[in-house]
Structure 1
Amino acid sequence: MIERFYLKDYLSFREIELNPTAGLVVFTGPSGSGKSILMKAILSSLGTDSCEASLCESSVTWELDSSETGIDNDDINIFKHIKKEKSRYFINNQSVSRKAISELSSNYLKHLSLKDFSDFENENLISIIDTRIQNKSTDIYSLKYEYEKSFVEHKKVKIELDKIEEEERKIVELKEFATFEINKIQEIDPKVSEDEELLEIKKELSRKEKVLETISLANVIFDSEHFVNTALDALDAQSSFFDDSMNELRALFDSAEAKFNALEDVDIEEVLNRIEELSSLKRRYGSIEEALAYKEQKIIELTKYENIEITKDELVKKEAILSKEVQKLSDSLTKLRRLELSTFTDDLNRYLKDLYLRDAQVSMQEIALNSYGKDEILINLNHTQLNKVSTGEFNRLRLAILALKSEFMSQNGGVLMLDEIDANLSGEESMSVAKVLRQLSKHFQIFVISHQPQLTSMGEQHFLVHKNEDESMVKELSFDDRIDEIARIISGDSVSNEAKSFAKELLEASR
């Protein structure tokens, strides 16, 4: 519910604060006093309308799922709309978009002004009927659980089967492609790191001739080796260091010549061609490792294609069993709902009679299987489609649907906001609407603007919207104040004793 509302600087309103209670909250006041403006501001604070107020703020008891919304949940959550140069929205001082705050509010708030068909959506009507069935000691919820479980499993198997059948239509092409890809890689038969080894061979071959030529020129140093030893002996110097160096140099040259001589039989053209083959694989697959992994993937796919008939046969059998089970469970749901449909229709029309509306016709037809069965509930009002009835009739029909739903509600249903739902109704019709709203107020906090004494008298809290010079004010009325206000609604500005007497009777009767 909305526990507090604060408004600052909006048209004729300077600053007001309301502390609405649970139940049916009525707003009255002379025409032009600002009732609809106030309602618009409350909606604006919750992101479902917009206004030019510098600040409108609602403190609500709605529980927020922080994991889903990213907003920390408090005992009281504060929704706020601030308008300076542009509109900004906040929840618990955390900035949010208007779309986000509106979507969150829509889970708890219904504004019965324009034609909103959400209460007539099939899933909602099915839910109401199933709840009624459950409360008559027929365990439809267990049946629904079994159906939903089987439906989900059947849908999963059907998707797998459809995928296989689609692959089957392309199987020849897919097998040919997989075989082609495997053969192409196998023909080259790459080895991990082979490309690096070949590049090293290419590098050695490219410098072989030059290196051998420089070694040949350097070998003349060994022709003068004995002269160095003779000189060292003449100097009585140790010659071992020189001998070691010459031996090391000789070994280095011999090793290099042996390595390059080993490349004599290597065909440079073959090396270059092999490098190009491997490069083509790397350009296509990224690396030799990735090419080999791709080959293994295609081998697995080819095996799957070759075994597809076996897999398909198994899925066809499984799909047939699940399809039969889903159909059986959906038939059971339909049977229970058809049995309840007549009582549902009678109870709906009982509310419609109280609301001075013509009878509704409720029918059920079969549609494609979905998560809650194969049933679609259709409602017409006096054989007229809902999109063709008047807005007043439409919203009173919505009240009747909400009343049916509220009969078995175990928790608060949120907030209903109604702007002059009893406009252009007779006294009896207004009282009938008031009685339905009073019943709904056990499960909803209801804000309603009224110009009728009957609905006004049924309010559990009454706010008077009035003007003091050019400024709009809001005042919560006491019992005696309410008598005066309802008397004003009855007789106009010249309040008669008869009007006061009738107003008091209405209020005392509503208690």
Structure 2
Amino acid sequence: MITSLSIKNYALIEKLSIDFSKGFSIITGETGAGKSIILGAIGLVLGKRADLTSLKNKEEKCVIEAQFDISKYNLKEFFQANDLDYEDETIIRREILPSGKSRAFINDSPVNLQELQDLSFFLIDIHSQQQTQELSDESVQFKIIDAISNNAETISDYQKSLKIYKSEKSKLNALLKKQSDSGKEQEYNTFLLNELVSAKLKSGEQAELEADYEKLNNVEIIKESIDKSLAIANEEQFGVFHNLNEIKTALQKIAPFSTEYQSLFERITSLSIEFDDISKELQNSSEKLLNDPEQLELVSQKLQLIFNLQKKHHVDSVDELLQIQADLGNTLLELDNIEEEIETLSKSIEQKENELNELAGVIHESRIQAIPVLSDKLIAILETLGMPNARFKIELTTVDTYFQNGKDELQFLFSANKGSDFGLLKKVASGGEMSRIMLAVKAILAQYSKLPTLIFDEIDTGVSGEIAIRMGEIMKEMSKTMQIFAITHLPQIAAKGDSHFKVSKSTIDNDTQSELKLLSQDDRIIEIAQMLSGANISDSALNHAKELLN
């Protein structure tokens, strides 16, 4: 429950601090006095968006702080999950800076608005006139039925299965599309792969083939050049070998005379040995050289095959062709595996459908059992609220679609008078009837919900007199198990409160301010008398106010 609220520099409020108690609290005040401002401030604490128009003084920041007693609401797991410090007396603070930036804190730990909204779900439900209209929304109606059905855990299990089911369906559709699209290309890809495999490509072979081609294609020129080189080297009188040996012999004679000549002798000796090796390699090459037109043709054909494949696949190397070959192999392997994947996924989806259908059936049956309970309770409460002939026909139909909360479609049909046909709630119920129905719904939900605080914002629209007294009694009864606030214009409801706050507005030095004040017993008599008779309070109004309070 909310135990205190402080507001600084918000709308028409310069500074305000107020404490709240458990039970039934009333908030009254003239139209425009600032009741909506109080709700707006609480809304900011609960995570609603803020803007600069919220600031009374645009040069200073706005600070709204609320304290909650959450000791009885099992929220420690929520705080741990969100890495927040848990306190039985938890403080939520919102700050709006002149720059327009907004900050939020839970027990002095900074949080984002989503975390604030998630926590507020467990703290306060603000019922407004707009929410009354939401009663005709199917999702809201399901929440009512499911609260009475105690379906929360089953729906949670259903939603987990539904998430997996949708994910697997998405994967299956993608595989089926891939299979369909790939089927058209599979034959062509198989042809390309076979073509590359039959080429028997090897990494680095293109350079070897090109070298072989040059040798085989120029064998006569190569042999002529090698033979000429060998002739020059081996000529008896003027050959390279002869001349090298002559130089070697001459240097050998002077080598002992200095290190310089010794070095030259050693070098010519090395050169002689190296040249001998070169000569032997030339001789071997000459012996190996053969004019082989058949081998030349084979090398030429293999090179042409490689060039053609490179051109077809728009690449420049054999390694790239080998990568394409590997990719095509993997693609075809994937296609071979797709059918197996589709079969496995289809079985899993079928299993998930059976699971969803079973859970949806449990949800449906519990709803079926809850419908007469809800209908009877609504009728009983509405009878006390001046609607003795109110009747409900709640129709639940199972369809083949998997919705987020099961497989049911729901219609709330309503008839307010004897002899009247049933019609959709939003079409046949008046504003006053909708207010009473909503109060009845909230009263019923209070028996099943653990929400600590409920704020009714003018739920008494369209009612008066004895009906207002009954509405006040219902809210009073609800306040035995939860904290209830009622913003009201009706004295019959105001008199039922355990505590009574008044919102008023005043103008000082051209500055309009709103304030919230806890009324004493005497102040309450006067306030309720004014609600009965207006500014000029009569004795009868005062007496009537005392009677209502008693």
Residue 486 of structure 1 corresponds to 528
Q: In the aligned structure 2, how far is the partner of 1:448 from the partner of 1:284?
A: 81
The answer to whether the 8 Å contact 1:175/1:305 transfers is: no
Q: CA deviation at 1:235?
A: 0.4
Q: Secondary structure at the match of 2:472?
A: helix
Change (3 A) 1:347 1:290: farther
Q: CA deviation at 1:168?
A: 7.2
Q: Secondary structure at the match of 1:436?
A: helix
Q: In the aligned structure 2, how far is the partner of 1:211 from the partner of 1:68?
A: 83
The answer to whether the 8 Å contact 1:362/1:380 transfers is: yes
Which of 355, 370, 373 is the equivalent residue of 1:343? 373
Change (3 A) 1:282 1:384: same
Residue 259 of structure 2 corresponds to none
Q: In the aligned structure 2, how far is the partner of 1:416 from the partner of 1:94?
A: 26
Which of 375, 381, 385 is the equivalent residue of 2:414? 381
Q: In the aligned structure 1, how far is the partner of 2:187 from the partner of 2:345?
A: 25
The answer to whether the 8 Å contact 1:466/1:472 transfers is: yes
Q: In the aligned structure 2, how far is the partner of 1:321 from the partner of 1:221?
A: 91
Kindly provide the CA deviation profile for residues 124-157 of structure 1, in whole angstroms up to 9, marking residues without a partner as x.
54454455456xxxxx889878877887787777
Change (3 A) 1:437 1:190: farther
Q: CA deviation at 1:345?
A: 1.0
Q: Secondary structure at the match of 1:235?
A: helix
The aligned length equals 494
The answer to whether the 8 Å contact 2:126/2:454 transfers is: yes
Matched, 1:359 2:391: yes
Q: CA deviation at 1:333?
A: 4.9
Q: Which runs of 5+ in 1 are unaligned?
A: 135-139
Q: Secondary structure at the match of 2:54?
A: coil
Q: CA deviation at 1:55?
A: 1.1
User: Rg: which structure is higher?
Assistant: 2
Change (3 A) 1:405 1:38: closer
Residue 407 of structure 1 corresponds to 447
Which of 58, 82, 102 is the equivalent residue of 1:88? 102
Matched to 2:96, the amino acid is I
Kindly provide the CA deviation profile for residues 45-92 of structure 1, in whole angstroms up to 9, marking residues without a partner as x.
4443654225141435486957987x7455325241415243534345
The answer to whether the 8 Å contact 1:42/1:56 transfers is: no
Change (3 A) 1:141 1:41: closer
Matched to 1:366, the amino acid is T
Moved more, 378-387 or 440-449: 440-449
Matched to 1:437, the amino acid is M
Residue 333 of structure 2 corresponds to 300
The answer to whether the 8 Å contact 1:112/1:395 transfers is: no
Q: In the aligned structure 1, how far is the partner of 2:187 from the partner of 2:46?
A: 61
- TM-score normalised by L of structure 1: 0.74
Change (3 A) 1:49 1:228: closer
Moved more, 438-447 or 152-161: 152-161
Q: Secondary structure at the match of 2:517?
A: strand
Moved more, 245-254 or 60-69: 60-69
Percent identical residues:
23
Matched to 1:379, the amino acid is F
The answer to whether the 8 Å contact 2:45/2:93 transfers is: yes
Matched to 1:361, the amino acid is K
Matched, 1:7 2:7: yes
Q: How does 1:190-209 map to 2 (within 5 A)?
A: 190-191=201-202, 194=203, 196=204, 198-199=206-207
Q: CA deviation at 1:229?
A: 0.8
Kindly provide the CA deviation profile for residues 318-352 of structure 1, in whole angstroms up to 9, marking residues without a partner as x.
87787677656655654453344223211122223
Matched to 1:400, the amino acid is A
Moved more, 364-373 or 124-133: 124-133
Residue 458 of structure 1 corresponds to 496
Change (3 A) 1:459 1:292: farther
Q: How does 1:377-456 map to 2 (within 5 A)?
A: 377-382=410-415, 383-388=422-427, 389-409=429-449, 411=450, 413=451, 415-441=453-479, 445-456=483-494
Moved more, 25-34 or 146-155: 146-155
Q: How does 1:1-400 map to 2 (within 5 A)?
A: 1-48=1-48, 50=50, 51-53=53-55, 54-59=61-66, 61=68, 72=84, 74-75=86-87, 76-82=90-96, 84-86=98-100, 88-92=102-106, 105=120, 109-115=125-131, 122=138, 125-126=141-142, 128-130=144-146, 132-133=148-149, 173=184, 175-191=186-202, 194=203, 196=204, 198-199=206-207, 222=241, 224-237=243-256, 239-248=265-274, 250-251=276-277, 267=299, 270-271=302-303, 274=306, 277-278=309-310, 281=313, 283=315, 287=320, 290-304=323-337, 312=343, 330-331=360-361, 333-357=363-387, 358-370=390-402, 372-382=405-415, 383-388=422-427, 389-400=429-440
Kindly provide the CA deviation profile for residues 369-405 of structure 1, in whole angstroms up to 9, marking residues without a partner as x.
4364432231133234344344554344333223222
The answer to whether the 8 Å contact 2:411/2:424 transfers is: no
Change (3 A) 1:160 1:222: same
Q: In the aligned structure 2, how far is the partner of 1:145 from the partner of 1:330?
A: 11
Q: Which runs of 5+ in 2 are unaligned?
A: 56-60, 234-238, 257-261, 416-421
Residue 137 of structure 1 corresponds to none
Q: CA deviation at 1:506?
A: 3.4
Q: CA deviation at 1:3?
A: 3.9
Q: CA deviation at 1:206?
A: 8.7
Change (3 A) 1:142 1:315: same
Matched to 1:385, the amino acid is L
Kindly provide the CA deviation profile for residues 163-187 of structure 1, in whole angstroms up to 9, marking residues without a partner as x.
7766776685364355345335434
Q: In the aligned structure 1, how far is the partner of 2:543 from the partner of 2:284?
A: 127
The answer to whether the 8 Å contact 1:40/1:49 transfers is: no
- TM-score normalised by L of structure 2: 0.70
Change (3 A) 1:282 1:377: same
